[in-house]
Amino acid sequence: MERTLSIVKPDGVSGGLIGEVVRRFEKNGIKIAAMKMIHLSRTQAEGFYAVHKERPFFASLTEFMSSGPCLVMVLEGENVIAKNRELMGATDYRKAAEGTIRRDFASDIEKNIVHGSDAPETAAYEIGYFFNQLEIVGK
């Protein structure tokens, strides 16, 4: 059993896509082990995306991520890191496969509706960034 961090980004929340994203997870057998709404400060967004701090889009990305509330979730299931990435689609919505969340709803490479951890180590770090053990149900 694996865990991953999912975020419905501010554009997804303001666009009314929380239900649609959660529906896709549930429909695909992914269990939600934790969820909460959070409005990140700029500093908290910078901490979360610290690995990208040298990238040219870091300032814009952290401004966007702190522009409004996000839904953060811990997802649980077999192979859930890869499964979530598959449901999300490629970072650039124009390259994302048909039927993925980003292909269906994103219209910008940065404002791309969802975030999902990309590996077990990043998942552990990202889950710990938002949740303590008491907030996560299950084993």
Q: By C-alpha distance, which of 18, 69, 74, 8 is closest to 40?
A: 69
Q: By C-alpha distance, which of 21, 29, 33, 129 is closest to 75?
A: 33
Dist. CA 62–CA 77, nearest whole Å: 29
Smallest gap from Cβ 4 to ligand GDP, in A, equals 11
Strands (E), 21-133: 31-38, 70-77, 114-116
Smallest gap from Cβ 114 to ligand GDP, in A, equals 8
For ligand GDP, which is the closer residue by CB, 28 or 60? 60
Q: By C-alpha distance, which of 22, 116, 27, 90 is closest to 98?
A: 90
For ligand GDP, which is the closer residue by CB, 94 or 135? 94
For residue 52, indicate whether it is catalytic: no
Of 24, 115, 123, 127, the catalytic one is: 115
Smallest gap from Cβ 133 to ligand GDP, in A, equals 25
For ligand GDP, which is the closer residue by CB, 47 or 138? 47
List residues near ligand GDP by CB under 6 A: 57, 60-61, 91, 109-110, 112, 115, 118
* Catalytically active residues, by annotation: 115
